[in-house]
A and B are shown apart, each in its own frame.
Chain A
């Protein structure tokens, strides 16, 4: 008898919390619609300029910035994100000066997994596949073709260094724009990659190299780290901040070796993804103190 009463009380508690959560979600979606319709008044250039100014201002207040930002998209249907949201985050990351972004989408293609092709289309930006699952991304650079010094005749008249074209040419052609590195993390990069490295070591276990690694666990640990980096082809540090799009915090098994000191934050479900909400997470990251065991 009492058991049923306790179960009823638990159910009531769960319903109350769910109702609060739904109301909060609806409030955030309503707020999101307002912010989105406000943004519709402006063209994309104005919005980019506004976001750039805002992010640069915030950057001066941040005590630290992650060099490697990770995004985890979980299975929660309420926290669904599409390509345009990811593209927006990439643009904020590039503006604020983050070096690389890794993306781990747990969902299947049928359930809306972010596809590279759609992301390219949606972001309308420079996008280059360097190798498998490893891309270079940049905000659209409107480099007019007429700035080509050799074709516009400036070289011939000998005034190219004074007429401004050379200056523009320097900006557009000689100075490499800072591209964002993007890694698409898949299931094979997680625990199974450690197993793969173990298998490789096992195949050469009689060799002097492996025997020397077995004599010192620290060396073996370093070897696994190096091999993992080589396989994934990281050219930046391990993830420092991870934004999880899911109501509950879960790593979903992502990179168990590389995320030991990663700060995990969930993106509030329902909130509009704009420069302000993105920076809010960077402020949280900026406030955290890493003690490295000390």
Chain B
């Protein structure tokens, strides 16, 4: 089940209401779900059981996000670097992913009821073909939902994403002029093209690095590191992160405003609204859509 039926206790409901009333709720939150294996080790479980517990916690987190008013969640599920792990662990992780994406397809009605749209970001070509198809199908069947956008970074690194963006411009940008290319255009070719940048990055397990996750998108993001392992995360840890964000966003308001202005200026500078750039972006969208449809309908 992707969205948990979490039963709140009275004091948790109160805390949620207080946090919501404070305003400054992040529109987009990103999670680095770290510490599954260390949790498994501490509980004398197999690694894959740690990952499975981690997934259960994700479904609770999605419920909390929905209830507090967060519109978009991006989770770092599997890095390209994770292919370096033992063959057995990679296989177990891919099997777990198969099971969960299959659940999406089977629980289509429930996800539609919650209005969850699934988008998998990453280099899908590196994954086994059957998993690619499952992912494409999960994305296709939820594409009309708009209450909660769930981006799952799978077979993803930020460098790969940025490289993919450059590659897209070089391969599909026949009509473009060199002066059309600036950071705004690269941003529009990222996997997260239709998403705002994350407001809050939440990383568990006490690590204080970003591990090649959405590096491009994080320029104004508040980063929150916490020592708890991901499967141990509670509503209180989640709310602590939200409260930290609320306080930080008041302090970073001027910087964010300045960046928003720069962003608008960049669009002007690179002829972003010109017909040829808009045509290029439509080509990118239709190309991606075509790949997705062909994957989801292939046998």
Binding site for B on A (CB under 8 A): 2-3, 6-7, 9-11, 13-14, 17, 75-76, 106, 190-192, 194-195, 197-199, 201-203, 205, 210, 214, 217, 220-221, 224, 247-253, 256-257, 259-265, 284, 288, 290, 292-294
Q: Are A294's CB and B84's CB within 8 A? A: yes
From B47-55, B129-137, B212-220, B284-292, the one touching the partner chain is B212-220
Q: Taking the nearest CB of chain B, how far is it from the CB of A10, in angstroms?
A: 4
Residue of B nearest to A2 (CB): B17
Residue of A nearest to B254 (CB): A75
Q: Are B222's CB and A248's CB within 8 A? A: yes
| Residue B234 lies at the interface, judged by CB distance under 8 Å to chain A | no
Binding site for A on B (CB under 8 A): 17-22, 79-85, 123, 157-160, 162-167, 169-171, 173, 176, 178, 181-183, 185-187, 207-212, 215-216, 218-225, 243-244, 246-248, 251-252, 254-255, 259
Q: Taking the nearest CB of chain B, how far is it from the CB of A174, in angstroms?
A: 41
Determine which of B81, B208, B248 lies in contact with A288 in the assembled complex, contact meaning CB atoms within 8 Å.
B208
Q: Are B185's CB and A251's CB within 8 A? A: no
How long is the Cα–Cα vector from A10 to B16 in the complex, in angstroms? 11
Q: Taking the nearest CB of chain B, how far is it from the CB of A291, in angstroms?
A: 9
Q: Are A250's CB and B163's CB within 8 A? A: no
Q: Are B166's CB and A198's CB within 8 A? A: yes
Q: Using Cβ atoms and an 8 Å threshold, which residues of chain B touch A10?
A: 18-19, 21-22
Q: Taking the nearest CB of chain A, how far is it from the CB of B192, in angstroms?
A: 13
Q: Using Cβ atoms and an 8 Å threshold, which residues of chain B touch A259?
A: 210, 215
Q: Using Cβ atoms and an 8 Å threshold, which residues of chain B touch A197?
A: 166
Contacts A/B (CB < 8 Å), 10 sampled: A14-B22, A224-B163, A251-B210, A252-B255, A256-B215, A256-B216, A260-B215, A264-B209, A284-B208, A293-B80
Q: Are A13's CB and B18's CB within 8 A? A: yes
Q: Using Cβ atoms and an 8 Å threshold, which residues of chain B touch A262?
A: 209-210
Q: Are B223's CB and A249's CB within 8 A? A: yes
Q: Are A214's CB and B170's CB within 8 A? A: yes
Q: Using Cβ atoms and an 8 Å threshold, which residues of chain B touch A199?
A: 178, 181-182
Q: Using Cβ atoms and an 8 Å threshold, which residues of chain A touch B181?
A: 195, 198-199, 202
Determine which of A190, A192, A248, A293 lies in contact with B248 in the assembled complex, contact meaning CB atoms within 8 Å.
A248
Query: Count the A-B residue pairs with Cβ separation under 8 angstroms: how many?
Result: 165
Residue of B nearest to A287 (CB): B206
Q: Using Cβ atoms and an 8 Å threshold, which residues of chain B touch A263?
A: 208-209
Residue of A nearest to B270 (CB): A195
Q: Are B18's CB and A247's CB within 8 A? A: no
Residue of A nearest to B159 (CB): A221
Q: Are A202's CB and B178's CB within 8 A? A: yes
Q: Are B252's CB and A250's CB within 8 A? A: yes
Q: A194-B162, A201-B166 are in contact. Are A249 and B17 (CB under 8 A)?
A: no
How long is the Cα–Cα vector from A3 to B21 in the complex, in angstroms? 7
Q: Taking the nearest CB of chain A, how far is it from the CB of B28, in angstroms?
A: 15
Residue of A nearest to B248 (CB): A248
Q: Using Cβ atoms and an 8 Å threshold, which residues of chain A touch B182?
A: 192, 195, 199
How long is the Cα–Cα vector from A294 to B252 in the complex, in angstroms? 35
How long is the Cα–Cα vector from A14 to B178 in the complex, in angstroms? 49
How long is the Cα–Cα vector from A75 to B258 in the complex, in angstroms? 12
Q: Are A260's CB and B212's CB within 8 A? A: yes
Q: A195-B185, A201-B170, A214-B171 are in contact. Are A249 and B18 (CB under 8 A)?
A: no
How long is the Cα–Cα vector from A203 to B19 in the complex, in angstroms? 51
How long is the Cα–Cα vector from A221 to B165 in the complex, in angstroms? 11
Q: Are A256's CB and B218's CB within 8 A? A: yes
Residue of B nearest to A292 (CB): B81
Please provide the 3 A-B residue pairs with the shortest distance between their CB atoms, ordered closest to farther. Answer: A293-B81, A253-B219, A6-B21
Q: Using Cβ atoms and an 8 Å threshold, which residues of chain A touch B254?
A: 75
How long is the Cα–Cα vector from A2 to B220 in the complex, in angstroms? 33
Residue of A nearest to B78 (CB): A293
Residue of A nearest to B218 (CB): A251
Q: Using Cβ atoms and an 8 Å threshold, which residues of chain A touch B165?
A: 198
Q: Are A250's CB and B220's CB within 8 A? A: yes
How long is the Cα–Cα vector from A262 to B183 in the complex, in angstroms? 22
How long is the Cα–Cα vector from A76 to B211 in the complex, in angstroms? 25
